[in-house]
Amino acid sequence: MDDVRQYARHSFFGIMLVMLILLLIVDSAFYFGMTVLFSKIAITGKAADSVPQIVGLAERVALLQKNLRFYFVPGSAAAFILFGCLLWLYLRISFVKYLKTAVPEASDTGATAEEAARAEKQNQDNEQRLFLHLLSVLQREGRLLDFFSENLDHYEDHQIGAAVRSIHENSRKTLDKYITLGAVIEADEGDEVTVAPGFDPGAIKLTGNVTGEPPFKGVLRHRGWQAKKLTLPTLTQGLDARHIAPAEVEIP
């Protein structure tokens, strides 16, 4: 309501100011035009005083000039004020209608933005849970976190090799269960390959003397990895994903 009152007040004074300027321009032009016209008619009447028709016409023109000056200014002012009020009323009604339609749209936009932010946060939480779930599976199947957390300085190389073989086999089975891996570039490492224009920088990393524009020719140092098939597990709601592996307590 305050916006409507403020707009109505400002628009009213603005419209009335414009109407006043237009009124002054129109009245000034009219007065100047009538003065020039009546002056020429008066000169013509004086030059032909002996002609009764000219004398009568000059008298009627003088009376018309007086009446026009008396009635035209207030009449034109009233017409401009009436037009200005009608224009102000139309703009005020249009502004009120616009506010009635714009406020719900703004509310909908706010609700939509809030829902989008909530959905984005949910997606981020799901991604974090999936990452932690993968660590949990690797720990459960291959004891991978136990291996990374272990201090290997106290073990001989052959002991570490035997442990890694078991961890490697179990972890590979776990990855194969969820992800089908493939090479980004199907070629042997050490072969010469061509990087075509429009390549994906996230898929191919250029090293060495990189100048100019593609295509580039170089030696394949690593084929890269990409997930050709991904089978995401269904996560149980309500469980804290930060608990990667539960603590095990044996009750005697």
Outline where the chain has alpha helix (H): 2-47, 52-142, 144-149, 157-178
Q: What is the pLDDT of residue 48?
A: 52
Instruction: Find out whether 169 and 132 touch, Cβ atoms under 8 Å.
Output: no
Q: Is residue 206 a part of any domain in this protein?
A: no
Instruction: Examine the domain organization and report whether 26 and 113 are in the same domain.
Output: yes
Instruction: Examine the domain organization and report whether 19 and 115 are in the same domain.
Output: yes
Mean confidence (pLDDT) of the chain: 78
> Which sign, positive or negative, has the C-alpha torsion 123, 128, 133, 135?
positive
All residues at 6 or more sequence positions from 135 whose CB lies less than 8 Å from its CB, including other chains? 144, 145, 244
> Looking at the 3D structure of the chain, how many domains does it have?
2
Instruction: Examine the domain organization and report whether 117 and 174 are in the same domain.
Output: no
Q: Is residue 208 a part of any domain in this protein?
A: no
pLDDT over threshold 90, residue 78? no
pLDDT over threshold 90, residue 124? no
Q: Is residue 111 a part of any domain in this protein?
A: yes
* Amino acid code (one letter) for 40: K
Show which of 123, 157, 187 is a domain's final residue: 123
Q: Tell me the C-alpha to C-alpha distance, in Å, between residue 157 and each of 144, 162, 179, 223.
A: 18, 9, 31, 29
Full DSSP string of 219-230: E-S----EEEEE
Work out the pLDDT band at 54, boundaries 50, 70, 90. Answer: low
Q: What is the pLDDT of residue 220?
A: 94
Instruction: Examine the domain organization and report whether 7 and 67 are in the same domain.
Output: yes
pLDDT over threshold 70, residue 234? no
Work out the pLDDT band at 105, boundaries 50, 70, 90. Answer: low
Work out the pLDDT band at 61, boundaries 50, 70, 90. Answer: low
Q: What is the pLDDT of residue 203?
A: 92
Average pLDDT of 88-92?
Answer: 81
Instruction: Find out whether 54 and 48 touch, Cβ atoms under 8 Å.
Output: yes
Q: How far apart are CA 95 and CA 8, in angstroms?
A: 9
Instruction: Examine the domain organization and report whether 14 and 110 are in the same domain.
Output: yes
The region, left, alpha or beta by phi > 0 then psi within -120 to 50, assigned to residue 212 is left
Task: Give the best-scoring range by mean pLDDT among 32-46, 67-81, 129-143.
Answer: 129-143
pLDDT over threshold 70, residue 2? no
Residues of 30-64 as b/e, b for ≥16 C-beta within 10 angstroms? eeeebeeebeebeeebeeeeeeeebeeebeebeee
Lowest-pLDDT choice from 41-50, 167-176, 219-228? 41-50
Instruction: Examine the domain organization and report whether 109 and 180 are in the same domain.
Output: no
Instruction: Find out whether 216 and 210 touch, Cβ atoms under 8 Å.
Output: yes
Show which of 72, 93, 123 is a domain's final residue: 123
Q: How far apart are CA 223 and CA 207, in angstroms?
A: 14
Count CA atoms within 13 Å of residue 62 on its CB side: 11
Q: Is residue 249 a part of any domain in this protein?
A: no
Q: What is the pLDDT of residue 37?
A: 67
Of residues 212 and 60, more confidence is placed in 212
pLDDT one-digit tens code per residue, 181-231: 899 999 999 999 999 999 999 899 999 998 889 999 999 999 999 988 888
pLDDT over threshold 60, residue 14? yes
Instruction: Examine the domain organization and report whether 7 and 116 are in the same domain.
Output: yes
Work out the pLDDT band at 169, boundaries 50, 70, 90. Answer: confident
Q: Is residue 137 a part of any domain in this protein?
A: no
| pTM beyond 0.75, yes or no | no
Of residues 195 and 178, more confidence is placed in 195
Q: Is residue 82 a part of any domain in this protein?
A: yes
Q: How far apart are CA 177 and CA 103, in angstroms?
A: 52
Instruction: Examine the domain organization and report whether 23 and 109 are in the same domain.
Output: yes
pLDDT over threshold 60, residue 47? no
Q: What percent of the chain has pLDDT over 70?
A: 76
Residues of the domain holding 80 = 2-123
Instruction: Examine the domain organization and report whether 11 and 87 are in the same domain.
Output: yes
- Per the listing, tokens 């008396």 go with 70
Instruction: Examine the domain organization and report whether 57 and 157 are in the same domain.
Output: no
pLDDT over threshold 80, residue 111? no
